[in-house]
Amino acid sequence: MRFITAGESHGPVLTTIIEGLPAGMPLNINEINEALAKRQEGYGRGNRMKIETDKVEVTSGVRHGKTLGSPVTFSVVNKDYKNWQSVMSAEPIEEELSKKSRVVHRPRPGHADLVGGIKYHHKDLRNVLERSSARETTMRVAIGAVASQLLSALGVEVVAYVCELGGIKGQVDVSEMSLAEIRDRANQSPVKMVDAEKEQQVKDKIDETKKAGNTLGGVVEVIAEGLPIGLGSYTQWDKKIDARLAKAMVSINAFKGVEFGDGFEVGRRYGSEVMDEIAYNAELGFYRLSNHLGGIEGGMTNGMPVIVRGVKKPIPTLYRPLQSVDIYSKEEYQASIERSDTTAVPAASIIAQAVVATELTQAILEKFPNDSFDELQQAVANYREYSKNPDMWLEEE
């Protein structure tokens, strides 16, 4: 499976093409739209999200509710575009108009503006910010929603929630909860946290921060259960499933770190404290007594839940301005506000879930035959049977 996302933040349409999905897979478009709606939610969002109500249109690769095996195209119309038509027109516009109207020459710290302008020789920094905008993540959520449907039909569930926001950590031990429970709690929470007791505290912090013209970051966690054993591989560095998940997570706008299982804590503990001992019974086959390593050993899924966390920095656009320099005049100024979320960490949990689901789907499609979806389902089912039955594995030939 490969995909490319396209589209400017205030352009007419966001588009993605996904190539290499199995044929005959049921695709529920409503569920994709529900995922998009979740990305737009979250306590602390600003006004743009009120303008848009993202819905995908499917223009290829799906017929009568099932994939065709051909490339799938999604597009999402930007409603706000109607206010930006001449600014964002693909066609040349009159000199007068192009020269002055909304040319951006004041790069915002923490954004791609300045570097992108230099790299691509853009003299209007709008040419950078339109694409570097997190609006792009709309399409990654749409792709992730397809991946989630595929995974779900194979018995794999992926959930995400906010485990920390503005320095306030949830205290609930999710390892004791079912994924369904985690998902329900996160869905009901305006800050996508599982720990309901911390919720009000977090909302208060968001309110205060907003008043102060500041912004907040946080940490999100994604958990995937029911994965086949042995996704990824140790045989070459670029095949390791954790390495690939790390890339996917850090590729999300504003993410500055990623960790698996006990994460950075494993560097502070003894070896005897962080290994997942092996046990066996006839029903489960081989299994683990703990999950310090987040479901991954040797760059492969080991049958325990995959646990990935990512940290998102606070949104760099502040009401309280940052120092910057006008690229033309070289005069210092206080950086302008392009948009105004106080925090987008709740949305980030939805995006993180999407990219993890996408990468796990990739790994499944690499391991199992998948021209058709029934072939894939059958192969995964057979392999599950095999992998928990050592006699099938170890029998003499």
Q: Which of 53, 83, 85, 89 binds a copy of itself (CB under 8 A)?
A: 89
Q: Does 195 bind a copy of itself (CB under 8 A)?
A: no
Note whether 368 and 213 are within 8 A (CB): no
Closer residue to a copy of itself (CB): 88 or 194 = 88
Q: Quick check: helix, strand or coil at residue 81?
A: helix
For the record, the structure tokens of 372 come out as 């058709």
Q: Which of 286, 339, 340, 384 binds a copy of itself (CB under 8 A)?
A: 286
Phi (first) and psi of residue 90, to 5 degrees = -70, -30
Note whether 312 and 345 are within 8 A (CB): yes
19-37 as b/e: b if 16+ CB within 10 A: eebbbbbebebeebbebbe
Q: Which of 189, 324, 362, 377 binds a copy of itself (CB under 8 A)?
A: 324
Q: Which residues, in sequence order, are CB contacts of 18 under 8 Å at separation 6+?
A: 1, 2, 3, 61, 71, 72, 73, 74, 143, 146
381 known member of a binding site = no
101 known member of a binding site = no
**Minimal distance in Å, beta carbon 184 to a copy of itself?**
25
C-beta neighbour count of 308 within 10 angstroms: 28
267 known member of a binding site = no
Q: Does 219 bind a copy of itself (CB under 8 A)?
A: yes
Which residue, 367, 394, 365, is CA-closest to 286? Answer: 394
Q: Does 100 bind a copy of itself (CB under 8 A)?
A: no
**Minimal distance in Å, beta carbon 29 to a copy of itself?**
7
**Minimal distance in Å, beta carbon 150 to a copy of itself?**
16
How far is the C-alpha of 195 from the C-alpha of 68, rounded, in Å?
42
Q: Quick check: helix, strand or coil at residue 312?
A: strand
Which residue(s) pair with 296 in the sheet?
A: 301
Q: Does 33 bind a copy of itself (CB under 8 A)?
A: no
Kindly identify the residues of this chain, within the stretch 337-356, that bind a copy of itself according to CB under 8 A. 345, 355
Q: Which of 53, 82, 85, 118 binds a copy of itself (CB under 8 A)?
A: 118
**Minimal distance in Å, beta carbon 243 to a copy of itself?**
4
Q: Does 203 bind a copy of itself (CB under 8 A)?
A: no
Closer residue to a copy of itself (CB): 188 or 382 = 382
Stretch that binds a copy of itself, among 7-15, 145-153, 179-187, 192-200 (CB under 8 A): 7-15
**Minimal distance in Å, beta carbon 188 to a copy of itself?**
23
Q: Does 39 bind a copy of itself (CB under 8 A)?
A: no
Binding mask 160-189 for a copy of itself (x = CB under 8 A): ----x-xx----------------------
Q: Which of 51, 196, 278, 381 binds a copy of itself (CB under 8 A)?
A: 278
Note whether 36 and 141 are within 8 A (CB): yes
Binding mask 243-272 for a copy of itself (x = CB under 8 A): xxxxxxxxxx---xxxxxxxxx-xxxxxxx
240 known member of a binding site = no
189, burial (CB in 10 Å: exposed 0-12, middle 13-18, buried 19+): buried
How far is the C-alpha of 159 from the C-alpha of 181, rounded, in Å?
10
**Minimal distance in Å, beta carbon 180 to a copy of itself?**
26
Residue type present at position 52: E
Q: What does the DSSP assignment read for 327-381? A: TTT--EEEPPPS---S--HHHHHHHHHHHHHHHHHHHHHHHS--SBHHHHHHHHH
The end-to-end CA distance of the chain, in Å, is: 34
**Minimal distance in Å, beta carbon 329 to a copy of itself?**
10
Closer residue to a copy of itself (CB): 181 or 371 = 371
Annotated binding site for FMN: 131-133, 253-254, 298, 313-317, 339
Annotated binding site for NADP(+): 39, 45
